[in-house]
Amino acid sequence: MVQFFKASKKNDKQPRKGIVAALDHQLQGVVREHNGGTRFVAGALPGEQITYKPLSKFSAELLSVKSVSTERIEPPCPYYQACGGCDVQHLNESNQQTYKQAAVAGLLQKFAQTEQLSWQPTLMADAWGYRRKARLATFWDGKRQHLRLGFRAAKSKQITEIANCPVLRPSLSALIEPLRQLIFNTGLGRTLGHVELIQANVVHVVLRVLKPLSAQQKQELTAFAEQHSLAFWLQDDNSVASVTTAKECNDAFCYDQSIDGDRLYFTPGDFIQVNADVNEQMVRQALAWLAPESDAVVLDLFAGVGNFSLPLARRVKQVIAIEGVAGMSQQLAANAQAAGCDNLIAETQDLSQIGAKKLASYNATHWLLDPARAGADKIVEQLGQLPEQRKPKRIVYVSCAPDTLARDSKCILAAGYRLKQLGLVDMFPQTHHIETMVCFERVA
């Protein structure tokens, strides 16, 4: 039998030294190793000499930094080291944006061969206190009679206990400690899955419960709701039901868009953009970049509950809004009806299965794509197969994952489009998540 040499794996996980060459699209430090391999080290910055410990084939944990980058700042949040949430606080916001833009540019250049990008100013608002929705994990430690309430640690099931969260809207952050007390005092911690905090037009607290509440527990929740002017909901496997609502609160989940004064209703579990201020700017920019004429027919793909669809419907002849989750597209239809937009058609469809024939049948002049991280490959693959007169004149692509954006851009460009405008949307400051908006225009 032929014997092959196999390097010993014994020292694979031993700490190593390296120099960070760049940041990748998740804002992790990239280290080129002597053996030709590459490691991605979260928390490391370009130019730094670091010691790291390999975790898997490509990833590594940062152990220490020897020569510290001048860009490194002290992370403002006291939970930064333990919490899995905001992982790029060691850079100020301006540098976060610079690296994010460079990451998008690099991927677009590599996969879609785009040069000379026409970057528009980044859309941004407050870099702290912006998040209007968050899910807190809970764990009841019976032995210690202790309730853990907080966020999951990075790549772990451990809960990092927090007393406040500086990226959460202040109204939600201020509830964390009082809620901990309430859950502990009422004994709810024993039967609680998680807690969801939502700042919509009013504050909602959704408790994922494994057992019905007692009358006494409901009474205590009512007193808390009145004291903090909020609405409590119970969520089980099948439904979300109102428990109690402060007198001055309307008890529906909804947010108002200042663009046309429309109200968007949703239910917990439905997607809504987490950063309300940046979202409004993003919707306005999508309207401006798509620039549809009043007789336009717009296809809003991955439409959610109608964040883009309603403002579009107010400006064009017709909008066809497609969403994969049936409950959300039904909600979208109800939102359109409440807003009096009878030129808006809401359809439920799995867009990973849609064919060119179906896409062509809409005869849309403009497309808006706002997919989840997986991107919109199945749709953009069909674009090249559409007859020329059925291709939209402009496409605005809103992306939350630059790698799939770059992949899909290649397809759009190959179908006869040019990249007209692009810009960063700083939807998630302090985190590595990158939101980008791109406008493509059909080349005549």
Ligand X SMILES: C[S@@+](CC[C@H](N)C(=O)[O-])C[C@H]1O[C@@H](n2cnc3c(N)ncnc32)[C@H](O)[C@@H]1O
Whichever of 106 and 324 has its CB closer to ligand X, that residue is: 324
SS3 of residue 225 by DSSP: helix
Q: Helix 402-414 crosses helix 93-112 at what angle (to 10 degrees)?
A: 40
Of 197, 205, 303, 419, the one binding ligand X (CB under 6 A) is 303
Whichever of 338 and 351 has its CB closer to ligand X, that residue is: 351
Q: Does 408 bind ligand X (CB under 6 A)?
A: no
| Contact in structure between 161 and 215 (CB atoms under 8 Å) | no
Q: Does 307 bind ligand X (CB under 6 A)?
A: yes
Active-site position among 165, 341, 400, 439: 400
Query: Cα Rg for the chain, rounded, in angstroms?
Result: 24
Strand partners, 244: 232
SS3 of residue 257 by DSSP: strand
Nearest residue to ligand X on Cβ basis = 324
Q: Does 281 bind ligand X (CB under 6 A)?
A: no
Stretch that binds ligand X, among 42-50, 95-103, 334-342, 350-358 (CB under 6 A): 350-358
Chain center to CA of 403: 15
Of 254, 297, 334, 351, the one binding ligand X (CB under 6 A) is 351
Amino acid, res. 383:
L
Distance CA(397)–CA(130), nearest Å, equals 23
Of 262, 370, 403, 408, the one binding ligand X (CB under 6 A) is 370
CB of 162 to ligand X, least distance (A): 26
Whichever of 42 and 319 has its CB closer to ligand X, that residue is: 319
Q: Does 372 bind ligand X (CB under 6 A)?
A: yes
Stretch that binds ligand X, among 111-119, 128-136, 370-378, 428-436 (CB under 6 A): 370-378
CB of 285 to ligand X, least distance (A): 13
Q: Does 435 bind ligand X (CB under 6 A)?
A: no
Distance CA(387)–CA(184), nearest Å, equals 63
Stretch that binds ligand X, among 123-131, 219-227, 364-372, 426-434 (CB under 6 A): 364-372
Whichever of 217 and 331 has its CB closer to ligand X, that residue is: 331
Stretch that binds ligand X, among 11-19, 104-112, 290-298, 323-331 (CB under 6 A): 323-331
In the sheet where 133-141 sits, what is the strand order?
Answer: 159-161, 146-152, 133-141, 192-199, 203-209, 230-235, 240-245
Q: Which two tokens stand for residue 119?
A: 């970057």
Burial of residue 420 (number of CB atoms within 10 Å: 0-12, 13-18, 19+): middle
Chain center to CA of 94: 20
- If binding means CB under 6 A, how many residues of this protein chain bind ligand X? 19
Whichever of 323 and 426 has its CB closer to ligand X, that residue is: 323
Of 64, 181, 352, 363, the one binding ligand X (CB under 6 A) is 352
Q: Helix 215-228 crosses helix 176-186 at what angle (to 10 degrees)?
A: 160
323 is in an annotated binding site: yes
Q: Are strands 59-67 and 38-41 parallel, antiparallel or unpaired?
A: parallel
Distance CA(419)–CA(439), nearest Å, equals 6
Q: Which two tokens stand for residue 333?
A: 């239809």
Q: Does 255 bind ligand X (CB under 6 A)?
A: no
Of 223, 259, 350, 418, the one binding ligand X (CB under 6 A) is 350
Of 29, 54, 150, 304, the one binding ligand X (CB under 6 A) is 304
Q: Does 324 bind ligand X (CB under 6 A)?
A: yes
Q: Does 254 bind ligand X (CB under 6 A)?
A: no
List the interface residues with ligand X, window 115-174 (CB under 6 A).
none
Distance CA(249)–CA(238), nearest Å, equals 25
Distance CA(429)–CA(27), nearest Å, equals 12
Distance CA(139)–CA(150), nearest Å, equals 9
77 is catalytic: no
Stretch that binds ligand X, among 49-57, 79-87, 164-172, 265-273 (CB under 6 A): 265-273
Distance CA(254)–CA(413), nearest Å, equals 38
Stretch that binds ligand X, among 83-91, 125-133, 320-328, 411-419 (CB under 6 A): 320-328
Nearest Cα residue to 272 out of 288, 250, 294, 257: 257
302 is in an annotated binding site: yes
Compute CA distances 112 → 115, 326, 403, 417, 419, whole Å: 9, 34, 11, 12, 10
Whichever of 63 and 374 has its CB closer to ligand X, that residue is: 374
Whichever of 249 and 354 has its CB closer to ligand X, that residue is: 354
Strand partners, 54: 60
Tell me which residues touch ligand X (CB under 6 A).
271-273, 302-304, 307-308, 323-325, 328, 350-352, 370-372, 400
- Which amino acids are annotated catalytic? 400
Binding residues for S-adenosyl-L-methionine, by number, are 273, 302, 323, 370
